[in-house]
Amino acid sequence: MLRTFLFSVSILLSSLVLPQQVYAAPILSQEIIDLDGNVLGNFAIDLRNVDGSGVITDWLVFNLTDFSPISIDSFFAEIDPTNLTSGLSLLFFDINDLSLQFLLQGFFEIDSGWFEVRDFNSGELISATGFTLSNAQLVSEPGTLLFLIASAFGLMLRRR
């Protein structure tokens, strides 16, 4: 009985430590925040799409709070592949809203960036603001959570 309990505890502890050090397919998410602290939007990137030099040209989610739905014409980002928790060091996007009223562009490098909204037809500047990115959040792929839940359920069945 004690041996089974210790075995179960050791399996549980190893499964809690493993996801913090090994990311099967992490997803990076960050918020776009204006200089007043308001959230302008957010994005998520599957880090399997990062090449060896840290270049990213694809995204999972890209939302802008006041402009939805959107169509992304151009997206480019860079990250240090040896330090994923540092977040993006470079971000460029060129976006249209689907109603074709607004053209949205943004550029971020190191610790600051700019975001502007233009009239889609005339190109006239409607608004512009500086922005920064929130701290990077690394989330394991949803399959990792499913694996942990299944292993805990298996341990409960084994105890019976």
DSSP per-residue codes, 59-118: -SEEEETTB-SEEEEEEEEEE-TT-GGG-EEEEEEEEEETTS-EEEEEEEETTEEEEEEE
The position carrying tokens 């006041």 is 66
- Higher local confidence (pLDDT), 81 or 128: 128
The Cα 1–Cα 4 span in angstroms is: 5
Render pLDDT for 151-160 as a digit per residue (tens, 0 to 9).
776 767 666 6
Which residues, including other chains, have CB under 8 Å from residue 52's CB and lie 6 or more apart? Answer: 81
pLDDT at 48: 83
Same domain, 122 and 61: yes
Domain count, the chain: 2
Same domain, 85 and 129: yes
Whole-prediction pTM: 0.67
Average pLDDT of the segment spanning 40-69: 84
Which residue range(s) make up the domain with 155?
A: 1-23+142-160
Chain-centroid distance of CA 85 in Å reads: 11
Same domain, 129 and 147: no
